[in-house]
Amino acid sequence: MDTIFLEQVKVQTKLGVPEWERTLPQTVILDIEIGYDFSKACQSDAIENTIDYGLVVARIRETLAEHSFKLVEALGEHVCQLILKEFKAQNVKLKVSKPGILPGLKALGVVMERDQK
C-alpha cells in the first residue's frame, strides 16, 4: 500500500469541553497519512488516479469551519470518516494537536487510525 502524507495542516474550528472555549475558532494542527493504491497514478501520471491532496485539505477546512466539537477524539473521528468516505482511502492515520491549551504544555491531542470497512 502507498501513503500520501500531509504534515502540519493548520485548520480553524471550534473545539473544547467548556462552552466558552467553543465561542471562537481556534487553530488545530493535523498530521494525516492516507493509504491508497497509487499504481494507476504511477503509470498514468494523472490526478484522477490518485487522491488530490489539495481537495482533501480544502474539504477538511470547510467541514471543520462548519462544525463544533467538545472533544479532539470526536473531531478526529469526523476527519477520518470524511477521508475514508469522500476520498475512498483504504485507511487513514490522523494526529490531532491542540497547541498551547494549558500552561507549560506544547500541545495535547490524539492519534487514531481507521480502515475502510
> What predicted TM-score, i.e. pTM, was given to this entire model?
0.93
User: At 49, which CATH number?
Assistant: 3.30.1130.10
User: Does the annotation mark 98 as catalytic?
Assistant: yes
pLDDT tens profile 95-107: 999 998 778 888 8
Q: What's the domain count of the chain?
A: 1
- Enclosing domain of residue 49: 2-115
**Mean pLDDT calculated for residue range 33-57:** 95
**Cell output for 2:** 502507498
- Options 93, 95, 98, 106, the catalytic residue: 98
Residue pointed to by grid coordinates 471550534: 14
Cβ-based neighbours of 37, under 8 Å, separated by 6 or more:
1, 2, 90
